[in-house]
Structure 1
Amino acid sequence: MINQSKHLATRPYTAISYMPSLSPRRIRTPHLPPMHPLETRNTMTYVTGEATRFSPSCFAIRRGSAPASLIHSSTGVNRKKSDYSLPLPPLPLPYIPSTSSPGAQSVSGLYTPQVLACLHKLPDYNFPIFELNKLVQGHALLVLLHYLCVESGLLSRLGLDADVFMVFAQRIEQGYHPEQPFHNSVHAADVVHTIHWLAMLPQIQRHLTDVDLLSIYVAGAIHDYDHPGVTNKYLSSINHPLAIRYNNQSVLESHHAASGMEVLTTADCDFLSSRTGTGNNSSYIDVRKREAIKSLIVEMVLATDLAKHSELLSKWKVQTLSGESFDPKTVAGHKIILFQTMIKCADVANPTKCTSIYYVWLDRISAEFYAQGDAEKTHKIPISAYMDRDHPDVKGCQLSFCQYIVAPLFEAFHAIIPCHDVIQGLNANVQMWHDTNDTEEWLKRIGVDYGERATEGLEGRFF
């Protein structure tokens, strides 16, 4: 159990690596359906809703596919109306990826010496996720899941079929929309890495079972599955079918969880029901434990709703600071609140990362914010805070986010489970904002000419 009397640690934290050997000879090659590098995938298929027919252009960001008045740009001040456009809603309902496209490449084929060198950095909190994503041609999520769950021996120890798991992983990765600057598979991969880093903290690692590790990795992978790049508030404001379906309660989070579970229960993706070996050597997770795992994953995904931030933070404080022993290994309620807090931390961790990584994520989330603001103008509904490209306030947005969301969450977590690297990164970025006079100064500091800025230039400029 976690000793609260020592929750204000003074010694620096040293990361513990829970990684397999990086020898290329150990890379196992599950049989996978073919896949393309993400940048070559230019068509998508959506289901048809009962009342509305959804097409690939519903909310996909494509050059020349929508009115020029709806511009997708991270800065949006006086920029030319070209390059990226954001078509009007309706938004797509669950994405059905293709599993039979030409140009196949195996997971093992992605493990070049450069990729292996990059994976050596997994114990680093500031893991270069964008570098990895470029090296593996847009498949960072797939590679991380393979590495953490297959190469680590995790699935083997649980007696689960790695081939089935990797089909699931590929379907999940394909269910993210690469056109979204922020809520895409790279963000999911970043959350998987961050939650892995938190899980390897000594105060947490000793409480975790293999089933726990598998659960948190899967939850991180699906937590924004099929994200349309807008907020719950926006979906409710336009009476989107998803908002109606989920009664305006945790709309996106419910959609991510339900859609992710739907993939998991598909016959060729149901790795929890798979087994390896035959006869006495066969092992599998029984029905009762499978349902418990699914329930835990859903609880974690639902906890990422920002509207539940105060509720989650209060629960964490009650559980950890009430004077009772906090024992996530044996007390189910303690385990759930720990895992919910971990995925919540991982989801909002961008301001705690080194400035160079933080800037990329900030640029990307700003792009989605301003695109939503444009859509809100078109619908003649109030523009959400910090989403008006004509009145940008990046500094105000980030200071508010850090002050009311990120800092309280990580400080409460750090009080029980010391994570000095995280707190130092957050403090450095907050201080950077205090030293910055306004948004224009920030844009100049990172080298953005906001008169010409386009989200399309992200990859060429940053990595």
Structure 2
Amino acid sequence: MLNALENFSDTLAETALKLPSSSFQAHVFKCIDALCEDFRSRLLQNFNFATNIGNSFVPDKKYFLQSMLFGEDPSDKTITQYISLLKSYKSIEKVHELQVDGYKQYDIHNFDLNIFDLSNNCPDIPMLISFSLQIFEFWDFQSSLALDYTRMRNFTKIIFKGYKDPPYHNAYHAADVLQSVHILLLSPAKSPKYLLYDTEDKFALLLSAMIHDFKHPGLNNDYLNKTSHKLALRYNNISVLENYHVSQAFKIMQNSENNIFHSLVNVNRIRKSIVEIVLATDMAFHNKHVEDVQEVVAKPSAFNMPNMLGILMHAGDISNVCRKFHISKEWGKRISAEFGIINALENPDSPSNGLPQEESQKRFCKFVMPFYKNLSCLYKTVVNWSNTLEENLSMWEGHTKMTQ
């Protein structure tokens, strides 16, 4: 009977995600919720979602690099170099001097969604705020956790306004990863035990996705450690940026108006979970994530939910390589630009900006392939991600041959 129910719910979920209408999808997921206790949150049929975000939230794109680099003295040589290099990068993002037009529903369940296409006729940051709040609205944490929605909206606005403007690690990346994690939480699993998230787990994972690169400067841990940056000294060269991101996000909550933990019951548990999840995004833990997933595949009794939350976060964080090629290619262009800036800072006399995009993306696809292959043995949605990753690898290999 349990197997029949599981198969039935999986079929419903897979069908729902293919429906063109978000409202139809919500109806189907409510049916699943009634059949399976694992789907505990009530899924909204109508997003009664409106927000009044105006031009005041359009980001200032004058590149105050001293704040981008953690408030360093703007006369610092590194910052001067960074300003020059960043200005040479032609950003695709545009700031539109327009008001947000009431409320808009986004196709938040669709992994083929291109986050860069959503800003038409809407300022970038307000659009990303609206998009992200719709995901949190979907899970109805107001009912299940007594989440104060006003505080949540305040917090979300500050988070997205606080993301800096490096080519890759910006507010678009945060929203993109949030949606990926949201889709993973909706994924059918090969076993019901892999879906035993409680409401606090879901909230912690989604919030972690939103804040996981908060105030990212466009540099990496290796560079900060090599240059003995003050943050590397503060965090003893251990997951430097990840510690910084979560710490800065928690500081926002010190203001009562932004304290989303205000009405929650198990604050310590949620806070601890968020710290662990964000720290799990450090690429230094990638091989451990691969090994942990392999262990669960071989021995299901090894499944551990707190650990799996970090693994799912990592899967969402690097998931742009699993999106359709034209989307993945854009992200590849951006990360290559960011790596090029770092390479130029490390090797100012070198004429090269590092590996060509085609080669770096091909290597990265090969590097993460085992991770997604193994994770697809646990979560059915990842099967499609893994297949698309293989297709993208083939495309990059074709590009490499053409340039040789």
Short-chain TM bin: 0.7 to 0.9
Kindly tell me: are residues 225 and 428 of structure 1, through their superposed partners in 2, closer, same or farther at Cα, counting changes over 3 Å?
same
Instruction: Tell me which residue corresponds to 1:350.
Output: 320
Indicate if the aligned counterparts of 2:69 and 2:217 stay in contact, CA closer than 8 A. no
Task: Choose which of 337, 340, 346 in structure 2 pairs with 1:376.
Answer: 346
Kindly tell me: are residues 343 and 151 of structure 1, through their superposed partners in 2, closer, same or farther at Cα, counting changes over 3 Å?
closer
Kindly tell me: are residues 111 and 212 of structure 1, through their superposed partners in 2, closer, same or farther at Cα, counting changes over 3 Å?
farther
Instruction: Tell me which residue corresponds to 2:225.
Output: 236
Alignment of 1:158 onto 2:145: yes
Indicate if the aligned counterparts of 2:111 and 2:323 stay in contact, CA closer than 8 A. yes
Shift of 1:400: 1.7
> Which TM-score applies when normalising by structure 2?
0.78
Whole-angstrom CA distance in 1 between matches of 2:187 and 2:369: 19
Q: Write out per-residue CA displacement over residues 27-82 of structure 1, whole angstroms, 9 at most, x where no aligned residue.
A: 244x88983223x55375977999x853499878xxxx7689746656xxxxxxxx
Please tell me the root mean square deviation across aligned C-alpha atoms, in Å: 3.7
Indicate if the aligned counterparts of 1:250 and 1:302 stay in contact, CA closer than 8 A. yes
Kindly tell me: are residues 211 and 144 of structure 1, through their superposed partners in 2, closer, same or farther at Cα, counting changes over 3 Å?
farther
Whole-angstrom CA distance in 2 between matches of 1:376 and 1:415: 40
The DSSP-based 3-state class of the residue aligned with 1:357 is helix
Task: Choose which of 211, 223, 227 in structure 1 pairs with 2:200.
Answer: 211
Q: Write out per-residue CA displacement over residues 253-291 of structure 1, whole angstroms, 9 at most, x where no aligned residue.
A: 1111211222234322111113xxxxxxxxxx22xx111
The DSSP-based 3-state class of the residue aligned with 2:400 is coil
Percent sequence identity over aligned pairs? 24
Letter in 2 for 1:338: M
Indicate if the aligned counterparts of 2:50 and 2:102 stay in contact, CA closer than 8 A. no
Kindly tell me: are residues 58 and 316 of structure 1, through their superposed partners in 2, closer, same or farther at Cα, counting changes over 3 Å?
farther
Instruction: Tell me which residue corresponds to 2:277.
Output: 300
Question: Which protein has greater RCO, CA pairs closer than 8 Å, 6+ apart?
Answer: 1
Alignment of 1:432 onto 2:402: no
Superposition map of 1:406-417 within 5 A:
406-417=368-379
Indicate if the aligned counterparts of 1:141 and 1:189 stay in contact, CA closer than 8 A. yes
Whole-angstrom CA distance in 2 between matches of 1:256 and 1:232: 12
Task: Choose which of 299, 308, 314 in structure 2 pairs with 1:322.
Answer: 299
Would you tell me which structure has more helix in proportion to its own residues? 2
Whole-angstrom CA distance in 1 between matches of 2:14 and 2:75: 47
Letter in 1 for 2:153: M
Indicate if the aligned counterparts of 2:160 and 2:171 stay in contact, CA closer than 8 A. yes
Kindly tell me: are residues 156 and 71 of structure 1, through their superposed partners in 2, closer, same or farther at Cα, counting changes over 3 Å?
closer
Kindly tell me: are residues 135 and 69 of structure 1, through their superposed partners in 2, closer, same or farther at Cα, counting changes over 3 Å?
closer
Gaps of 5+ in 1: 75-82, 85-102, 275-284, 327-333, 442-463
Shift of 1:323: 4.5
Whole-angstrom CA distance in 2 between matches of 1:48 and 1:153: 34
Whole-angstrom CA distance in 1 between matches of 2:232 and 2:377: 37
Instruction: Tell me which residue corresponds to 2:250.
Output: 261
Alignment of 1:366 onto 2:390: no
Indicate if the aligned counterparts of 1:73 and 1:367 stay in contact, CA closer than 8 A. no
Kindly tell me: are residues 337 and 260 of structure 1, through their superposed partners in 2, closer, same or farther at Cα, counting changes over 3 Å?
same
Whole-angstrom CA distance in 1 between matches of 2:82 and 2:247: 32
Kindly tell me: are residues 403 and 392 of structure 1, through their superposed partners in 2, closer, same or farther at Cα, counting changes over 3 Å?
closer
Indicate if the aligned counterparts of 1:223 and 1:256 stay in contact, CA closer than 8 A. yes
Indicate if the aligned counterparts of 2:239 and 2:279 stay in contact, CA closer than 8 A. yes
Shift of 1:240: 0.8
Instruction: Tell me which residue corresponds to 1:336.
Output: 306
Shift of 1:234: 0.7
Indicate if the aligned counterparts of 2:44 and 2:138 stay in contact, CA closer than 8 A. yes
Letter in 2 for 1:224: D
Whole-angstrom CA distance in 2 between matches of 1:27 and 1:426: 34
Kindly tell me: are residues 133 and 110 of structure 1, through their superposed partners in 2, closer, same or farther at Cα, counting changes over 3 Å?
same
Whole-angstrom CA distance in 1 between matches of 2:402 and 2:257: 49
Whole-angstrom CA distance in 2 between matches of 1:317 and 1:146: 34
The DSSP-based 3-state class of the residue aligned with 1:415 is coil
Kindly tell me: are residues 150 and 70 of structure 1, through their superposed partners in 2, closer, same or farther at Cα, counting changes over 3 Å?
closer
Shift of 1:247: 1.1
Gaps of 5+ in 2: 18-24, 27-42, 92-96
> Which TM-score applies when normalising by structure 1?
0.69
Equivalent residue pairs, number: 365
Instruction: Tell me which residue corresponds to 1:291.
Output: 268
Whole-angstrom CA distance in 2 between matches of 1:433 and 1:305: 25
